[in-house]
Amino acid sequence: MSSIFTKIIRGEIPAKVVKRQDDMIAFHDVNPQAPVHVLVVPVQEVAAVRDCAGPEGQALLGRLMQFAAQVATELGLDADGYRLVTNTGRYGGQSVFHLHVHIMGGRPMGWPPG
């Protein structure tokens, strides 16, 4: 069964897309928790970072973080900074089980997160 993010990637569900390449997509979170809240998602369906084993997983995670940083730059977030978050499993607060990174910016972030 495909995830809600795969449906967005396929154009079956609308989303406000920020940037798209063959292997990655970035779109605005439907329920933003910061002035800028963008999700960066690999086209490949992998549930979470813990599922990214071996050289292929290493490449995917590297590419995902690199793409997230590019998107953050293009959103104008470099000067003030931003946060990248990936939630994993129940205690991590993950609600969509398709690997993704949250880009959050536009305000100072607290620490520790809730």
Binding site for ligand 5GP (CB under 6 A): 4, 13, 15, 27-31, 39, 87, 93-96
Among 78, 95, 82, 97, which Cα is nearest to 37's?
Answer: 82
Residue 106 beta carbon to ligand 5GP: minimum distance, rounded to whole angstroms: 15
Alpha carbon distance 100, 94 (integer Å): 10
Active-site residue 28, yes or no? no
Q: Which of 28, 37, 98, 100 is catalytic?
A: 100
Count of other CB atoms within 10 angstroms of residue 60: 20
Residue 55 beta carbon to ligand 5GP: minimum distance, rounded to whole angstroms: 26
Active site residues: 100
